[in-house]
Amino acid sequence: ESLTVAELAKKLNREPSEIIKKLFLLGVVATINQQLDKDAIELIASEYGVKVEEEVVIDQTDLETYFTEDREEDLEVRPPVVTIMGHVDHGKTTTLDSIRHTKVTAGEAGGITQHIGAYQVKIDGKKITFLDTPGHEAFTTMRARGAQVTDITVLVVAADDGVKPQTVEAINHAKAADVPIIVAVNKIDKPTANPERVMQELTEYGLIPEDWGGDTIYVPISALTGEGIDNLLEMILLVSEVEELKANPNRRALGSVIEARLDKGRGPVATLLVQNGTLHVGDPIVVGHTYGRVRAMVNDLGRRVKEAGPSTPVEITGLNDVPEAGDRFVVFEDEKTARQIGEARKQQAVQAHRNETARISLDTLFEQLKQGEMKELNVIVKADVQGSVEALTAALQKIDVEGVNIKVIHTGVGAITESDVALASASNAIIIGFNVRPDANAKRAAETEKVDIRLHRIIYKAIEEIESAMKGMLDPEY
């Protein structure tokens, strides 16, 4: 069996660059698409404490295995997929509406916009796709299910209100997903607007404006009057160019579910975002744990279409059941394979539900550290007052256990919320609550998502617990 560097990296859950570096240190100069022989594979695998099974069997039912890389020469530029985030009432919905109105109705005469969970606009012949469920909950729920669909985040901050808790949450969610942020300073039409203050406040979170020597793009807008919207769209295209977003339109389609529901007349209906390849009417498809053949496709203007290329959202019918937002989809060559894989996945899901897969928890932390599966422990800190948040964060960062880093990915004052749990689940983090508790929704979500929440009233106890877990001393066996 041989694997390319990229394939091996994927199996080991590492970046290809890391594998290349390791190979280099072992005296092998390799590129990302280079085939590695058995010896090299074993050598690298052993570096990560992984044993190579004689035959590397590719799990056909794992849809992720179909998300393979394309050859450079097959790639073409694709539109960016943008999510709008920000604090409640700062103007996310108005911004989405404003963009849609100015661009869609002007360009596409006769189009009746239809809510399918995402829409596309065209600026000077270039397209941008917007997910039109604003807010970071949708973003993070998708990510928790394995779907990374957002290329760029537009952070909307009201110029008359400044940085608020959900602004900070949005920043942390975007950072955790490694998605670039453009700041839209909204409501500049208001006499009380103070864009400078927004910029000032956001520098504390590392979003330093270009004018001040940083690399964050700020665009002043008024979603209400439409001022600055064109500029915002141009900036999105600019960032998109820098990111070099590409896909191969000439392969079988794959991507993610944006939303799905059961329609009385049409049966299961799902909005799919094509992330690679081109989707056609008639394609045999597996979507999450459902399958079928694409019967009809409708775009965001309510028009029937026959095909949909990379970054295009389309609503499809023809599935045997309703998938979930964030599910992956893959098109297969023939209906028989699609049906087999779809049914096998359904079985597995039922089984997995029984076995309840475990996420990161302090109880199993040491085991995972020992097996070399983890080098970093992600932590979310919530406390009753800002002082405690800071004290606890500082103390956590001082913990020094060999080979493991603690990374505080989000902090906040107040009860542990569902959004905290979603972020923890998506980032495989644990949550530490200091003098706060999870609210009812968060509690329920933590149970289903298997997120470990630790509550404390004394800082050194919290630190002690983490430290012991890292050293394997929570478990009585050690």
**Residues 6+ away with beta carbon under 8 Å from 55:** 1
Contact, 290 vs 320, CB < 8 A? yes
Is 166 among the residues that bind ligand GDP (CB under 6 A)?
A: no
45 or 224, CB closer to ligand GDP?
224
Does 89 count as an annotated binding residue?
Answer: yes
- With contacts defined by CB under 6 A, name the span among 84-92, 105-113, 175-183, 379-387 that binds ligand GDP: 84-92
Q: Which residue from 60, 65, 93, 113 is in contact with ligand GDP, where contact means CB under 6 A? A: 93
Does 226 count as an annotated binding residue?
Answer: no
Is 101 among the residues that bind ligand GDP (CB under 6 A)?
A: no
Q: Pairing state of beta strands 304-305 and 376-383? A: unpaired
Q: Which residue from 22, 78, 92, 345 is in contact with ligand GDP, where contact means CB under 6 A? A: 92
Does 151 count as an annotated binding residue?
Answer: no
Does 342 count as an annotated binding residue?
Answer: no
132 or 283, CB closer to ligand GDP?
132
- Per the rule left: phi > 0, alpha: psi between -120 and 50, beta: everything else, 31 is beta
Contacts with ligand GDP, 204-223, as mask; x by CB under 6 A: ------------------xx
Q: How far is the CB of 261 from ligand GDP (least distance, A)?
A: 22
90 or 345, CB closer to ligand GDP?
90
Contact, 316 vs 268, CB < 8 A? no
Q: How far is the CB of 159 from ligand GDP (least distance, A)?
A: 9
Roughly how many angstroms between the first and final C-alpha of the chain, as a whole number?
38
Q: Which residue from 10, 22, 78, 90 is in contact with ligand GDP, where contact means CB under 6 A? A: 90
Does 186 count as an annotated binding residue?
Answer: yes
Does 456 count as an annotated binding residue?
Answer: no
Q: How far is CA 397 from the centre of its chain?
A: 25
Is 91 among the residues that bind ligand GDP (CB under 6 A)?
A: yes
Which structure tokens are listed for 312?
């295009």
Rounded-to-integer distance, Cα 163 and Cα 155, Å: 11
Contacts with ligand GDP, 359-398, as mask; x by CB under 6 A: ----------------------------------------
Is 163 among the residues that bind ligand GDP (CB under 6 A)?
A: no
88 or 106, CB closer to ligand GDP?
88
Find the Cα–Cα–Cα–Cα dihedral 357, 360, 361, 362, rounded to 10°: 150
Angle at 248 between CA 66 and CA 282, to 5 degrees: 70
Is 189 among the residues that bind ligand GDP (CB under 6 A)?
A: yes
Is 190 among the residues that bind ligand GDP (CB under 6 A)?
A: yes
Rounded-to-integer distance, Cα 191 and Cα 173, Å: 31
Is 419 among the residues that bind ligand GDP (CB under 6 A)?
A: no
Is 115 among the residues that bind ligand GDP (CB under 6 A)?
A: no
Is 134 among the residues that bind ligand GDP (CB under 6 A)?
A: yes
Is 133 among the residues that bind ligand GDP (CB under 6 A)?
A: no
Contact, 16 vs 5, CB < 8 A? yes
Q: How far is the CB of 446 from ligand GDP (least distance, A)?
A: 26
312 or 419, CB closer to ligand GDP?
419
91 or 309, CB closer to ligand GDP?
91
Does 107 count as an annotated binding residue?
Answer: no
Is 136 among the residues that bind ligand GDP (CB under 6 A)?
A: no
Is 103 among the residues that bind ligand GDP (CB under 6 A)?
A: no
Contact, 81 vs 309, CB < 8 A? no
Is 311 among the residues that bind ligand GDP (CB under 6 A)?
A: no
Of the candidates 110, 84, 77, the residue with the CA atom closest to the CA atom of residue 98 = 84
Residue 247's identity, in one-letter code, is A
Rounded-to-integer distance, Cα 359 and Cα 364, Å: 9
Q: Which residue from 89, 204, 333, 363 is in contact with ligand GDP, where contact means CB under 6 A? A: 89
Does 417 count as an annotated binding residue?
Answer: no
Which structure tokens are listed for 467?
């430290």
Does 132 count as an annotated binding residue?
Answer: yes
- With contacts defined by CB under 6 A, name the span among 85-93, 208-216, 327-335, 413-421 that binds ligand GDP: 85-93
Q: Which residue from 141, 153, 172, 186 is in contact with ligand GDP, where contact means CB under 6 A? A: 186
Binding region for ligand GDP (CB under 6 A): 86, 88-94, 134, 186-187, 189-190, 222-224
Binding residues: 86-93, 132-136, 186-189
Binding residues for GTP: 86-93, 132-136, 186-189
